Chain A
Amino acid sequence: MTNALRLYMHYLSQSVRSQMQYRVSFIMLSFGHFLTTGIEFLAIASLFARFKHIQGWTLPEVALLYGLINISFAFADAASRGFDIFGTMVKSGDFDRLLLRPRSTALQLAGHELTLRRVGRLLQGLAVFSWASYTLDIAWSVPKIYLVFTAIFGGACLFIGLMVIQATIAFWTTESLELMNTMTYGGVETAQYPLPIYRIWFRKFFTYIVPLACVNYLPALAILERGDPMGFPIALQWVAPLICIIFLIVALQIWKIGVRYYRSTGS
């Protein structure tokens, strides 16, 4: 286990070093990423200027949801590049090489690259989150800090889990399906607004099938000390983010099944 962790860290440091060879390109791409993701928040702010609130939620409250989900997605997005390009690896047969190495394939793919330019989304997520926290004047206590960290960690686990599942599908289709983007990017988009604004089937989907509510809406309720119109037990708000760790573990088990069914394209 510690050995695997050391190897993973080694992979990451290699990846960081290679990306730092092109410093200007890195700065440019990070800035571009900051810009493209930041634009979404400008649009949200404009809507709030016109409509004032969305079912009782004000802009700073929504900004808290927005900040949380974007921070966790930035981490997940940076760490899962290997799973993202897995489809092309299957197609070209490059995955065979990974199988020959005496380490788990999931570990090797996770260590494939730490995409540093995702720092652009991370920074704008942090900026929006800080602004929200400042405007709402949240009294940060230990339990609330615990909530923020578990929400971000759980969120990252959830998104990595989704990307692992997306990659697993490529074992059968030899092609990554754009359709899964609805869960990842679509999930980010969805979680930027409070869950009760959506239709019931949609809420249920993002609560029970893809437990997005557990890392965003529920912990945010506890941080904001708001009542829940959907009537989940209060205790759930505190343990919910941890459910997503289970989600990731399940995803990795499905991945293992996928590896067993793998047939090389032979090219």
Chain B
Amino acid sequence: MILNLSVIKSYIAVLSARFRTLLQYRAAAFAGFGTQLFWGLIRVMIFEAFYRSTTAPQPMTADEVITYIWLGQAFLVLIPYQGADPDVRAMVRSGNVVYELVRPTNLYFFWYSRAIAQRTAPGVFRALPMFITASLFFNLQMPPSFSATCAWLISMLFAILISAAITNLLNISLLWTISGEGLGVLLSSLTWLFSGIIIPLLFFPDWAQTAINILPFRYLMDIPFRFYMGHISPEQIWYHLPFQIAYLIALITAGHLILTRGIRRLVAQGG
């Protein structure tokens, strides 16, 4: 695969076209913001009640958990919980997916560009309002230092790229209708559980921590959020960044291989 400039340009064009399309759904984004606010409030109240009930030391302070919860609500779009790209799903159902094979671009990166847009665009109208609302009214705290902010931003960038790679795996799994559905459900549940969106990962039992640390999902939310709060010191980015890059490459390579196999067994029916 030769990556020259014009090829990269075409992927960027796909990304930005998809991004702009997704930005059109403003009413949905507004409703989504309301929903997320509500969810965040429920979670915050539950944790506040838990902290009122104990004096035992916890892996995070109550304030940290609250910030963590609001960050999770603001960046919910990073979790591919709605599964694959609905357009890809429709294409596979109708058989129009064969048109995708005709394009003079690499199909993996074509879909990957769309996935990046899917993991960022809906966040534009949710993340910023959530940030402002939660920091004004609900005790979302700012990063403690400039270096913490930088570390957070770097790990967030890779969180987006990893999330898009997982989304693309879900897209590709659609080529196997039945077993793909199963894989999709499994992958979504793993992401949901081990990213930190339900509860901060440190609250899981100690014996589960090893598994959590091996899986890539904590890089979607948990690690970036802890950089944000200064819960992990900013220098640690040099430890975590290589892992993020390695996971990204592994996920993309795996997606590539599976896609190639999927296309080989694809039978296009005429008509």
Contacts and interface: CB of A to CB of B under 8 A. Distances in A.
B49 A55 contact: yes
Contacts of A142: none
Contacts of B5: none
Given A24-B178, A175-B27, A193-B46, A52 B203 contact: no
A42 B42 CA distance: 18
Nearest to B39: A186
A68 B199 CA distance: 22
A204 interface: no
Q: Is the interface of A mostly helix, strand, loop or mixed?
A: helix
Interface string B168-194: 000000000011011001101100110
Interface in A81-122: none
A39 B189 contact: yes
Interface of A: 22, 24-25, 28-29, 31-33, 35-36, 39-40, 42-43, 46-47, 49-56, 175, 177-179, 181-182, 186, 189-190, 193, 197-199, 202
Interface string B199-213: 100011100100000
Contact of B203 (A22, A36, A50, A182): A50
A52 B39 CA distance: 23
Interface residues of B, number: 37
A47 B50 contact: yes
A46 to B, nearest CB: 5
Given A36-B189, A43-B193, A179 B45 contact: no
A189 B41 CA distance: 11
Nearest to A25: B178
7 contacts: A42-B193, A43-B198, A55-B49, A56-B53, A178-B28, A190-B42, A193-B49
A52 B46 CA distance: 14
Interface of B: 27-28, 31-32, 34-35, 38-39, 41-42, 45-46, 49-54, 56, 58-59, 178-179, 181-182, 185-186, 188-189, 192-193, 198-199, 203-205, 208
Given A54-B49, A178-B32, A186-B39, A36 B199 contact: no
B178 A182 contact: no
A24 B181 CA distance: 10
A36 B192 contact: yes
A167 to B, nearest CB: 15
B110 to A, nearest CB: 28
Given A35-B185, A42-B193, A46-B204, 6 more contacts: A29-B185, A32-B181, A33-B185, A43-B193, A51-B53, A175-B27
A28 B42 CA distance: 31
A80 to B, nearest CB: 19
A197 B49 contact: yes
